[in-house]
DNA sequence: TTGCGTGCAAAGGTTTTGCATGGCA
DNA sequence: TGCCATGCAAAACCTTTGCACGCAA
């Protein structure tokens, strides 16, 4: 599938890269982009977000108290091959390289016949800081 | 806060207890109750679900690509301690009970300081049937 | 020039709210 | 009896879709 490099796509990507430490709803993203002088239509925001999620550059999930989906950048380095732990309390996204988790993937394939797609998983929980 | 014991609340609780192995959207719950002869208004379903969540009897979460919230009984054993594997090809949701996954949770807590909330995770991938 | 991408507005769904009535304690 | 709970319908939201026009390749 062809992929045009429009200025709207660039604006979204730049926004995520510069705000990779937090997650945002579609509406927040639209607002913040508008505040920066980049006005995108709602539909474009949603359509682009869907594609960025499909491409694996952005993760979609739902924070505990939020009513709608949140999006967060995860396209740097080797984000396809490591695990993501998302703290539902403070919002931090941890990037974990871990052999144990690779074994888990093998275990699931072998014992449950299920091929895990690591790039699509976000493991939710609470980080160390927030547990205190 | 007072808590009246209405027949609507009883109907909801009974439904969850008898269907603790799956999760349902608010709309599905409304439909299934109606099919059983228990017609509750939409608003009542939503209000009661909120309270059951507050009371800790029911969990609310969002399956990875679901459009709306899902609710699931968590007063008993139910789905609290097993994993959900979601096939991105056929859409089937598999429920997996597995000691190995408990170990994984312990590993993440010990080595990465992160307390996994199993009930909030949906592991995406492709099931056996669809891989063929 | 071709056909994907965008913006607008309308449609489709889900969840919340206001208000009068019903029902538990 | 005093309130909380319910039902209905409308409102408020969030997300998707249809269509004509704009723009990258």
CB of B56 within 8 A of CB of B74?
yes
Closest CA to C23 C1' — which residue? B6
For chain A, 132 residues long, the average pLDDT of each consecutive 10-residue run is: 85 94 91 94 96 88 70 76 81 84 88 84 85 84
Between A39 and B73, the higher pLDDT residue:
A39
Q: pLDDT grade, residue B56 (50/70/90)?
A: confident
Q: Which nucleotides of D are covered by protein (CB under 7 A)?
A: 3-10, 13-18, 23-25
pTM, two decimals, is 0.77
What's chain B's average pLDDT?
Answer: 83
In this prediction, residue A39 carries a pLDDT of 94
CB of B113 within 8 A of CB of A127?
yes
Weakest-pLDDT range from A79-88, A105-114, B55-64, B85-94? B85-94
In this prediction, residue B66 carries a pLDDT of 63
In this prediction, residue A48 carries a pLDDT of 96
Whole-angstrom Cα distance, residue B78 to residue B81?
7
Q: pLDDT grade, residue B110 (50/70/90)?
A: very high
Chosen for mutation from A108, A122, A129 (greatest number of chain B CBs closer than 10 Å) is: A108
pLDDT in tens, B9-26: 999 999 999 988 778 999
The yes-or-no verdict on residue B102 having pLDDT over 70 is yes
Helices (H), B3-127: 7-18, 26-35, 42-55, 99-112
CB of A88 within 8 A of CB of A79?
no
Residues of A in contact with B61 (CB under 8 A): 62
In this prediction, residue B6 carries a pLDDT of 95
Cβ contacts of A56 within 8 Å, gap of 6 or more: A74, A75, A79, A80, A119, A120
Share of chain B above pLDDT 70, in %: 83
Hey, what are A32's tokens? 């913040």
């Amino acid at each position: 599938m062809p992929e045009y490099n429009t200025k709207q796509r660039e604006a979204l990507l730049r926004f995520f890269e510069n705000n990779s430490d937090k997650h945002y709803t579609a509406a927040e993203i639209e607002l913040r982009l508008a505040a920066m002088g980049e006005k995108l239509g709602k539909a474009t925001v949603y359509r682009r977000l869907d594609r960025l999620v499909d491409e694996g550059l952005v993760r979609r999930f739902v924070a505990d108290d939020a009513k709608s989906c949140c999006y967060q950048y995860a396209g740097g380095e080797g984000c396809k091959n490591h695990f993501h732990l998302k703290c539902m309390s403070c919002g931090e996204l941890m990037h974990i390289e871990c052999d144990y988790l690779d074994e888990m993937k093998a275990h699931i394939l072998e014992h449950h016949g299920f091929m895990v797609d690591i790039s699509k998983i976000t493991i939710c929980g609470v980080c160390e800081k927030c547990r205190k």
